[in-house]
Structures are given as C-alpha cells and as structure tokens.
Amino acid sequence: MRRKEVKRIRRTILFIISLLISTTIIFEIFDRLDKFNRNVYKKVEALTSNNKVNDEESIKNEYDNEVEENSSVLDNSGYIKLEDDINADDAAEILPKTMYEWNFYREDNRKIAYLTFDDGPSKHSTEKILDILKKNDIKATFFTLGSSIESNDRSSEILKRIAKEGHAIGSHGYSHNYSKLYPNRTVDVKAFVEDFQKNDVILKNILGKDFSTRLIRLPGGHSSWNGTEALDKVLYEKGIWQVDWNALNGDAEGRDFPKEALLDKLKETVGDKDIAIILMHDTDNKKGTVEYLQSAIDYLKAEGFEFRTLK
C-alpha cells in the first residue's frame, strides 16, 4: 500500500513538471513568433518609405527637365492672350505709371479695381470665389503658388477653370519660403528665379505648353525686402512684371477675421484712389474672404469701380 502511494505521488509530480516545461516551451514559441512578425513589419515599412524617397527624388528630377521635352503631350487650356482679352490691361503699360510710381489717381474719372488672390488654388475657397466672380461677371487675377498646386489633388481642374472663365493667372513662386528667397531679408536672385521657374513648369504642365505669364507677385511683397534692384534688373531682362498692392482686406494678418472687419479694412485702404490693386487670399484658412467677397464687390461697384485684370 505505501509503495503504491509513493508511486502515485511520484507520477503526479512528474506530470506537474512536464506540464510546466511544455507551458514554458509554448510561451517561448509565441514570443519568438511575435518578434519575427515585428521584424517583418519593420522591413516592409522600411521598403515602403524607401519607395517614397525614390518618388520624391523622381519628382525633383522632373523639374530639372525642360518643359519643352514633354510639351508635345500637353493639352492647352485656352488661356486668353492679352491681345484677345477685353478684360485685361497690359501690365507693361499700367504698372510703370501706377504701382512703380506709387500713383493711383487718374485724370479721366475712371475707377479701376484689380481683385487679386494669392497663395491658391485651395481645395475649398478658390471655387467658391470663382462662383461669386462668375455670378457677378467679374474677372480677377490669381497669383498661384506651386506648393499649393501640388498639395491639392484638384488643382488641375481648378486652374483650368480659372483660365477658361477668363481670369488672369500670375505666379507667386513655388515655396513661399522667406528664408530661402530672402536670406537676411535680402533677395537671393538665383534662389528666387529657380523658385519661380519651378512654378512655371508646374503651370505649363497643367495649362499647356503655350501658357506663360509675365506677371508675378513676390511672397511678402516687393517693398518688404532689400536687394530688389538686382532682382528687378533680371525681371526686366526677362520681360516679367512684378506687382504689389495698394489696398487689402487684411486677410493675411494672422487670424481669420469676420467678413465685416475685412470689408472695413478694404474701405479704409481703398480710400479715394482711382486705381485699387487689392490683395486677398484664396487659401482654405481664409474663410472670411469667401464670406465677405460679395459685399466687397457691391461696395466697389457703388463707388464706381470697374473690375479688370492685369496680364
């Protein structure tokens, strides 16, 4: 009897020990499987991000190529040339007499407003602005930004609509990066020209090989920076006209102002001028500009302004 009992106890102990060992083995297997999975995941992730870098690299290389190389496959947008555009004024004629002289008064009692929109096209605001302009049969000038065009998957469509509906398209460059364009607040002419050429390529690739604009607006404005004489010389040689503004709605000044404040700022800055080149923005964070636009048009109309574009 005693012997049998000892045997039973021994068997039980052996069973417990083998149970413990097998549990440990099973846990170890699971742990290793988990580590293996994590490694595989890391490798897949590394491969994908590598592809991303390659994609970015190839986009950069595309810019280095001349547009002319693939121009045969580009469709043209029907952008109206200055000579054929009844709503556009010749920048080469208007700007030296007005903006470059800072003289905005006319002898002939005509009052002209140039509505300008910078930094777009944007996903939501630009088309709402186009709708309002269309409803009022008014043409405006859009200073488009390459980096905005690239970050908006509908920009091709929107830019083509801007062209088709008879507005003017100017360039605001690609990066809007002050430290790159104006290190120590002084224009880096080479960096500036490259930045604007990059946007030219983007615009041509969307609007067609025949598209070109000789109208630009400096990010931050021409009068804000030092060393603009060197840039002006290059622009003059290239036949490019830069245009600042002499009126604004204040939508660039930080927060998204309510429409009433924007209209007040417009009235204040237009004052009694006969020519108003009005700075506004068609970016998505400036919802106030979309909301105020009709009231601004109504105000300018009541003040006797015609609406024209610069090309």
**Residues found near Zn ion in the complex (CB under 5 A):** 118-119, 219
Cβ neighbour number for residue 240 with a 10 Å cutoff: 19
Nearer to Zn ion, 77 or 126 (CB): 126
What is the DSSP-derived secondary structure letter of residue 99?
A: T
Phi and psi torsions of 186, nearest 5°? -120, 135
Least gap, CB of 157 to Zn ion (angstroms): 22
Nearer to Zn ion, 281 or 308 (CB): 281
Least gap, CB of 280 to Zn ion (angstroms): 11
Nearer to Zn ion, 119 or 244 (CB): 119
- Those residues whose C-beta lies under 8 Å from the C-beta of residue 204, and which sit 6 or more positions away, are 67, 71, 74, 211, 212
Least gap, CB of 252 to Zn ion (angstroms): 7
Q: What length is written for the chain?
A: 311
Nearer to Zn ion, 167 or 281 (CB): 281
Radius of gyration in angstroms for the set of CA atoms belonging to the chain, rounded to a whole number: 31
Least gap, CB of 176 to Zn ion (angstroms): 6
Q: State the residue number with the nearest CB to Zn ion.
A: 118
DSSP strand pairing (88-89 vs 309-310): parallel
Nearer to Zn ion, 252 or 261 (CB): 252
* Sign (positive or negative) of CA dihedral 156, 60, 171, 247: positive
Q: Are residues 171 and 216 in contact, defined by beta-carbon separation less than 8 angstroms?
A: yes
Least gap, CB of 175 to Zn ion (angstroms): 11
The one-letter amino acid at 208 = G
